A and B are shown apart, each in its own frame.
Chain A
């Protein structure tokens, strides 16, 4: 391996020995939200710092150091999915489509009425609502939850997403996302917006 001839510690970043204290928790939270697994989140945070160490001579300071690290972390998260394909539940698109069909009658109309949600944006400020949303996401099959979260929180294109999550076609991606969103909608409806109130 050839080492670059720079003298001293080099680099345009702050002292790497302070990175964990400065950014460790922020990166960990970011990773945990997407990977939903504490061990995996710790691993990608470590990998991020080690990659950053190698790349720090190239850090131009155009973005903040934290933004730069998050940029590296985004790739590590996708890499993690790519490397752990065998952990994905087998993708049974037909059964997902079947489950989705249960919401509709034979002619394709909603089986149960979709009731309106009054002022849903008010719920955003309630911690209890965010907790319910989190539970509803947790209740999704892991593959659906991961796909949904990555789609909503990252701006990867369809191809990157399909490759990382081992989804064979873009069409299957739509099936997975429709399924995830419809189930989330039903879960929020039942557990927040139309909860049986006299039941306490």
Chain B
């Protein structure tokens, strides 16, 4: 029988890869009887969804942008690289 500690570890592992049949059954048995681990599992799932949400927000956030200097530096690098390729 799993402890809550083992169940929490398997819950996390299940976020990233399929569990073996044995692990799946043992985890399910534990979750059936343990309210706290059920809550934990739900919350860990939610955190994944929330992180997706955070990334979508951050990737659309117009307040985050390249500084003027780095924009200029990168633009110049691109031009320079193109010029070099033309000349050889």
B and A form one assembly: yes
Interface residues of A, Cβ cutoff 8 Å to B: 1, 3, 9, 16-17, 19-20, 24-26, 28-30, 32-33, 42, 45-46, 49-50, 53, 100-101, 103-104, 107-110, 113-117, 120-121, 123-124, 129-130, 133-134, 137, 148-149, 151-153, 158, 174, 177-178, 181-182, 184-185, 188-189
Pick the contact of A25 from B37, B64, B77, B81 — CB < 8 Å?
B64
Q: Does B26 contact A (CB under 8 A)?
A: no
In the complex, the answer to whether B64 meets A32 with C-beta atoms within 8 Å is yes
Pick the contact of B82 from A16, A42, A117, A134 — CB < 8 Å?
A16
**Cβ-closest chain B residue relative to A116:** B39
**Cβ-closest chain A residue relative to B39:** A114
In the complex, the answer to whether A124 meets B50 with C-beta atoms within 8 Å is yes
Q: Which of B27-79 contact A (CB under 8 A)?
A: 36-37, 39-40, 42-44, 46-55, 57-62, 64-67, 70-71, 73-75, 77-79
In the complex, the answer to whether B5 meets A104 with C-beta atoms within 8 Å is yes
Known: A46-B73, A109-B3. A130 touches B53 (CB 8 A): yes
Q: Which A residues are in CB contact (< 8 Å) with B82? A: 9, 16-17, 53
Known: A25-B65, A30-B59, A124-B50. A115 touches B78 (CB 8 A): no
In the complex, the answer to whether B59 meets A26 with C-beta atoms within 8 Å is yes
In the complex, the answer to whether A33 meets B55 with C-beta atoms within 8 Å is yes
Known: A124-B53, A133-B54. A50 touches B44 (CB 8 A): no
Q: Which A residues are in CB contact (< 8 Å) with B4? A: 104, 108-110
Pick the contact of A20 from B6, B15, B75 — CB < 8 Å?
B75
In the complex, the answer to whether B78 meets A20 with C-beta atoms within 8 Å is yes
